[in-house]
Chain A
């Protein structure tokens, strides 16, 4: 009996010991701040979150430039240990959502959308004393602009397949796929909404931009960047004949491009390279320019980078070619593991790890104006803009009047190719002017595609979905 009593006593003691140790289980998360600890102080959180959105955009960008560069026959990736960096983009594998190319450039824009969504939630929840209505408006203008830019990167790669355009509070809920035209209309809607918000955004943002935005760091000046993007998007809409903007190359749609440009940072007498950039650095925890020659020797220019280059009056090649492209004495062969052509050319515009890459620059705005002027009937204005670029950027002789629409498009695409070389434009431009068939097929195994497929992970997630929730082409 005593034994049973003792047993009971000890068991009771053990239970008591266990009970009092509960607070020991409150162990912190050492790795990451909990959501609550950040969002409880919106004033401190907004700069961190806004910089996060800018960093997302930068994080996607080099992959976008090099990926679309391969598709547009601007570049190769010669990484010897991973032939799929080439075969996944250039062979029929690119049509498969499990390949290196086919599965690429889909998720990153949505990460930006998600971070923008979260930032907006924090901003909206902040009290007036923490973040004023004016500042909230400014932040929304910024977020909607970044969202539009991300959707543009997205639809540029999926084109006719369309895309998903929205993230919502419940990530398990599938959002519908919408058509290409709807995506473009969404983008322009976002940009226009952002413009309105920026106009009532007061004198400053409640966060600091990185140095790639120098000159565009107040709501008023950031609006010029927003309008520059609107000009690009409207030019795409005009050339594609997007529903809601008019027929292909319709003057009405191009008129809006001119309107957008007038509110942008376009400056015929300013530096052609003026604009907004993604910046890089080799500092710890920062990101370096992974396209730069110091970061990799595997990214090289396409073997026909010199085709059709015009000569200057002194017989030398177009200045844009000679300043951006390095000609090797002897052709560099691809590794035996890589299914590509040998090339004599390498890019030199991104020399160091901290060289910036333009998001949009004055030179593009002038070319957009040329395009818009031409298709709104202002041939002389278009010629003036083209010649400004030809002479100032290319060091070429000015040219005479355009003989035909196709003469203009040839001239425009030549200048866009060199002025915006390896900045993510070539493939998109060739597609919107229906000239993908003019891109080189380097090898029998290669194909030119007009869009990338929906990646496997998205397909699997929607395997049982129906209607517009189903992923096209899966």
Chain B
């Protein structure tokens, strides 16, 4: 198959090679591109010869070298954040300086619109958000998700915990699926990459969910964490269905396109960046300061209370401060080199990042190497190849839910802080006897976290190549054939070990637990594309047309995953191998293959004011019921620019798009199967599955209508981007419930309809801009609601499996006409006010399971400001979420343990509880009034501050010899949070990444604040 593609390609290419005209290249233009206000070089400015294939990119100083025809040429000069320019260079002139003016919207940016096509943002008719590499790397982050927080309007980005190494969820324009994939498609330089998360097996220790190796509550890292933000040139987020439909049935959740840095022609440049710093918890809770009386009442034993508390005021130990008191050296070292000539360019980088956790014995390290090469042969063949190797290791300790009191905040919730748990005995911290007395079991987090290993070690390779051949290149037409392909493979090696001596280990009669949890992922995608552009010089073909781009292609993709785990219990002391004790084994494998054909048409007309585009993708997949059937994913968009129509409005673009994108069924849904039912007496058993497969299963279908307005005002000093969208998702993939009396739990179906509507606003302003001072300010706002419009008539409303901890704490439900983001739980039937339920003895005190809060924020805003004064620049990012409720089991744990820090504060109603903590717990009434612990998760977070000082160029030679550029940087992340939320962080989720019902806070790893200082030098 593969060899046939190549063969066909060669035949086609050779038949065409002889026929195209050759463009002469016989002079070099050099020069510098700079900011017209502060005269600093503009790095990565792109210069293109109009009507020719020649192009060059400026280096960090703005200097460039461009091959050009001998004749007079016009250069198209673009740089992100600057107004586009066209500069004429007469045949006799060899060098030119080009001054550019900043603009509030990045209209010159190149936006990906197809498999092999791009457009300038100015002309793009859909909402695409872009974040530049600089914005990502300014304040170092645990992973890309954190670096993107507050920077992509309409996109909800939450970190699952504060643990080192990352782990977070990106949800573009709200809920799109209930059963199907809920995460965006991530594409790095054309390679579709895996963003799954794999637990290292800590569930075997915590037993958060059964006794298996893994569960969704293990706080794993999703594999986006492997990628190094320093290597990223830009991140584009395709949000609308019209834009993302180029990825067909992998696209309803949007597409995140990551482009890495590339080499530039010129003398080799070498840059070194070093950061050093430290991490600390952004927020801890503390616990109750016990009195002897209170302790005696909790223990039910005055004599014992006297032992712990010699005086009425008990001693108090800051358990959380101590356990989360690790302050290792955080560092990040980046080396990059780039250079080359007009034919060959390279970019090489190496990065080593160490992130100590705030919890003892935790940390993360990421190392990677990258090589990007660009090569051209003559004027017709160009190729690029990218190869990167990553190694990520994490030790994340234990957090989230557990059933063994091994999760630190879980254990702290029930342990009065009256004894020093750090005391040593037999070389380890002591057993937590106080907790054992209270709950018959227990662990000392100092002992547990010191002893337990929950480590993941990932080796990953990503590589890709793209070769293109300009079959035709004239003033008016180009025809380019390109072949692109790439792979992503990794092995994630998870090892968990819980030694025999730990206090809780003998509780199951099998001391010692060892887990080996392996995940092997292989993905490949490849495509062949043909792109034709027609740029009429006059109006001889179709009047008014500026450019007509036609493209077509074919794509193949596969994803292969093999996951297996071994849990061994009952170990020999000190031995971590899994070939001892009682082992249990588990394996899951999947393989998905997709084939697609696509075609698209883009038209620029009426002096480039009108842009019209349309495309369609036909796709079939191994996961569909009918594997031979093609599903079609069309999209169309139109925009028109009104230039200087209204005073002070330089340009207003009106745009609208409609598109249909899809979401594939998951592997295996299509098959009617019987399931292995274990052994009895060594004999195999088989049984019906609890969920029935569906041989008719097909992709979900999302139809989206988006309209928007982008405007620049006041001489590009202000820019506004506004979009509203209306998405309708039909043929939804559902695990439709069946009555339990049928002997099944559910069946996989396509059905039902969901609607998501939203508004996105972005305002960029350049209030001050002069020779010494610039101020750039950005604000963004978004809001959406997601509602289940209908379900098929034979499907009952249902409770979402594993969306919380039952009606007593609140969980998700899919119900006709209701928002999908609601939290449902118990309240008293008698109570009129859902949010202030109370005991009601005389009235109907029975309990009803109903909607009690909405986990979806009313809106989310972000403010970002950059100030530059001479060599100094300061940037700050503030993120604001208004509303969004959280089921806070952390609060419940501390109140149940009579141990919350505010337990002894005055009670609002002493007839219910004598103190505040007692009042809350009593009012919750063992879960009959779930709303008490469903808390407002609003916040304002100061996410990033970065201060940079550029060493004046006249000082550099004295200090750094031949360096071109030197900067000193100080940055901080997660600096402060203002929130009414009781617990650690309202953005976390006990269940990690989840499509719907992301609202459970249960003993998470606390959020981490980071300070880093360092320098960047370029030679």
Interface residues, chain A, CB within 8 Å of chain B? 2-3, 6-7, 9-11, 13-18, 20-22, 24-36, 38, 45, 47-49, 51-52, 54-56, 58, 78-84, 87, 91, 93, 96, 98-100, 106-107, 110-115, 117-118, 163-164, 167, 171-172, 174-175, 208, 210-211, 279, 281-287, 293-298, 332-337, 339, 353, 455-458, 460-464
Given contacts A25-B620, A208-B683, A285-B678, contact A30 B590 (CB under 8 A): yes
Given contacts A10-B530, A171-B742, A335-B438, contact A118 B688 (CB under 8 A): yes
9 A-B residue contacts at CB 8 Å?
A20-B4, A30-B588, A33-B674, A45-B686, A51-B677, A99-B807, A115-B687, A115-B688, A457-B737
The answer to whether B675 has its CB under 8 Å from any CB of chain A is yes
Residue in B737, B745, B794, B926 whose beta carbon sits within 8 Å of that of A87 in the complex: B926
Given contacts A14-B552, A32-B676, A113-B743, contact A172 B826 (CB under 8 A): no
The answer to whether B768 has its CB under 8 Å from any CB of chain A is no
Q: Which are the 3 A-B pairs with shortest beta-carbon distances?
A: A114-B743, A80-B439, A335-B439
B796 touches A461 (CB 8 A): yes
The closest CB in chain A to the CB of B562 belongs to A30
Q: In whole angstroms, what is the CA distance A285 to B4 when docked?
A: 46
Contacts of A83 in B (CB 8 A): 896, 926
Q: In whole angstroms, what is the CA distance A172 to B477 when docked?
A: 60
Given contacts A54-B680, A164-B741, A295-B509, contact A284 B584 (CB under 8 A): yes
Contacts of B584 in A (CB 8 A): 284-285
Contacts of B479 in A (CB 8 A): 3, 6-7
Interface residues, chain B, CB within 8 Å of chain A? 1, 4-5, 8, 12, 15-16, 19, 298, 300, 402-405, 410, 414, 437-442, 471-472, 477, 479, 481, 507-509, 528, 530, 532, 550, 552-554, 556, 582-585, 588-593, 595-597, 620-622, 627-628, 668, 671-690, 692, 737-745, 747, 794, 796-799, 806-808, 826, 847, 849, 896-898, 926-928
The closest CB in chain A to the CB of B582 belongs to A282
Q: In whole angstroms, what is the CA distance A285 to B583 when docked?
A: 10
B672 touches A58 (CB 8 A): no
Q: In whole angstroms, what is the CA distance A390 to B636 when docked?
A: 86
Contacts of B441 in A (CB 8 A): 80, 297, 335
Q: In whole angstroms, what is the CA distance A81 to B926 when docked?
A: 13
Q: In whole angstroms, what is the CA distance A117 to B896 when docked?
A: 46
Given contacts A52-B687, A80-B441, A164-B741, contact A30 B681 (CB under 8 A): no
Given contacts A52-B686, A295-B509, contact A10 B12 (CB under 8 A): yes
Nearest Cβ on chain B to A126's Cβ, whole angstroms: 16
B747 touches A171 (CB 8 A): yes
The closest CB in chain B to the CB of A110 belongs to B743
Contacts of B737 in A (CB 8 A): 457, 460-461
Given contacts A455-B740, A463-B797, contact A3 B477 (CB under 8 A): yes
Given contacts A111-B743, A114-B742, contact A55 B680 (CB under 8 A): yes
The closest CB in chain A to the CB of B630 belongs to A18
Q: In whole angstroms, what is the CA distance A117 to B837 when docked?
A: 47
Nearest Cβ on chain A to B944's Cβ, whole angstroms: 38
Q: In whole angstroms, what is the CA distance A7 to B680 when docked?
A: 64
The closest CB in chain A to the CB of B506 belongs to A297
A52 touches B685 (CB 8 A): yes
Q: In whole angstroms, what is the CA distance A158 to B806 when docked?
A: 22
Q: A26-B627, A81-B402, A171-B747 are in contact. List 14 more A-B contacts (CB 8 A).
A: A10-B481, A27-B593, A34-B671, A49-B686, A51-B683, A87-B927, A98-B807, A113-B743, A171-B744, A210-B681, A282-B582, A286-B680, A455-B740, A457-B737
Contacts of A93 in B (CB 8 A): 847, 926-928
B684 touches A48 (CB 8 A): yes
Given contacts A14-B597, A458-B740, contact A55 B552 (CB under 8 A): no
Nearest Cβ on chain A to B801's Cβ, whole angstroms: 10
Contacts of A106 in B (CB 8 A): 740-741
Contacts of B404 in A (CB 8 A): 81
A175 touches B597 (CB 8 A): no
B591 touches A30 (CB 8 A): yes
B438 touches A21 (CB 8 A): no
Contacts of B688 in A (CB 8 A): 111, 114-115, 118
Interface of B is mostly: mixed
Contacts of A54 in B (CB 8 A): 680, 685
A6 touches B686 (CB 8 A): no
Contacts of B405 in A (CB 8 A): 80-81
The closest CB in chain B to the CB of A108 belongs to B740
Contacts of A295 in B (CB 8 A): 508-509
Q: In whole angstroms, what is the CA distance A87 to B743 when docked?
A: 27
Central interface residue in B440, B550, B684, by most chain A CB within 10 Å:
B440
Contacts of A58 in B (CB 8 A): 680
Contacts of B794 in A (CB 8 A): 172
Q: In whole angstroms, what is the CA distance A457 to B849 when docked?
A: 12
Given contacts A55-B678, A336-B438, A456-B799, contact A172 B738 (CB under 8 A): yes
The closest CB in chain B to the CB of A174 belongs to B739
Residue in A20, A171, A333 whose beta carbon sits within 8 Å of that of B1 in the complex: A20
The closest CB in chain B to the CB of A455 belongs to B740
Q: In whole angstroms, what is the CA distance A413 to B225 when docked?
A: 64
Q: In whole angstroms, what is the CA distance A189 to B593 when docked?
A: 52
A98 touches B591 (CB 8 A): no
Residue in B12, B589, B595 whose beta carbon sits within 8 Å of that of A18 in the complex: B595
B740 touches A55 (CB 8 A): no
Nearest Cβ on chain B to A415's Cβ, whole angstroms: 32
Given contacts A11-B530, A33-B673, A51-B684, contact A25 B897 (CB under 8 A): no
Q: In whole angstroms, what is the CA distance A112 to B743 when docked?
A: 7
Q: In whole angstroms, what is the CA distance A28 to B477 when docked?
A: 47
Contacts of A460 in B (CB 8 A): 737, 796-799
Nearest Cβ on chain B to A96's Cβ, whole angstroms: 6
Given contacts A27-B591, A30-B591, A107-B745, contact A35 B556 (CB under 8 A): no
B683 touches A25 (CB 8 A): no
Central interface residue in B19, B553, B741, by most chain A CB within 10 Å:
B741
Nearest Cβ on chain A to B540's Cβ, whole angstroms: 16
B686 touches A21 (CB 8 A): no
Contacts of A18 in B (CB 8 A): 554, 595-597
Contacts of B440 in A (CB 8 A): 78, 80, 297-298, 332-335
A84 touches B597 (CB 8 A): no
Nearest Cβ on chain A to B855's Cβ, whole angstroms: 19
Q: In whole angstroms, what is the CA distance A16 to B896 when docked?
A: 67
Residue in A79, A282, A456 whose beta carbon sits within 8 Å of that of B403 in the complex: A79
Contacts of A24 in B (CB 8 A): 1, 593, 595, 622
Q: In whole angstroms, what is the CA distance A96 to B806 when docked?
A: 12
Q: In whole angstroms, what is the CA distance A336 to B597 when docked?
A: 63
Contacts of A107 in B (CB 8 A): 740, 745
A98 touches B687 (CB 8 A): no
A117 touches B743 (CB 8 A): yes
Nearest Cβ on chain B to A45's Cβ, whole angstroms: 8
B8 touches A98 (CB 8 A): no
Contacts of B621 in A (CB 8 A): 25
Q: In whole angstroms, what is the CA distance A22 to B594 when docked?
A: 10
The closest CB in chain B to the CB of A86 belongs to B926
Central interface residue in A14, A208, A455, by most chain B CB within 10 Å:
A14
Q: In whole angstroms, what is the CA distance A43 to B390 when docked?
A: 52
A31 touches B685 (CB 8 A): no
The closest CB in chain A to the CB of B847 belongs to A96
The closest CB in chain B to the CB of A300 belongs to B440
The closest CB in chain A to the CB of B811 belongs to A98
B679 touches A285 (CB 8 A): yes
Nearest Cβ on chain B to A372's Cβ, whole angstroms: 32
Q: In whole angstroms, what is the CA distance A70 to B442 when docked?
A: 24
Nearest Cβ on chain A to B378's Cβ, whole angstroms: 19
Q: In whole angstroms, what is the CA distance A297 to B504 when docked?
A: 12
Contacts of B740 in A (CB 8 A): 106-107, 110, 455, 457-458, 461
Nearest Cβ on chain B to A332's Cβ, whole angstroms: 7
Contacts of B627 in A (CB 8 A): 22, 25-26
B8 touches A13 (CB 8 A): yes
A47 touches B683 (CB 8 A): yes
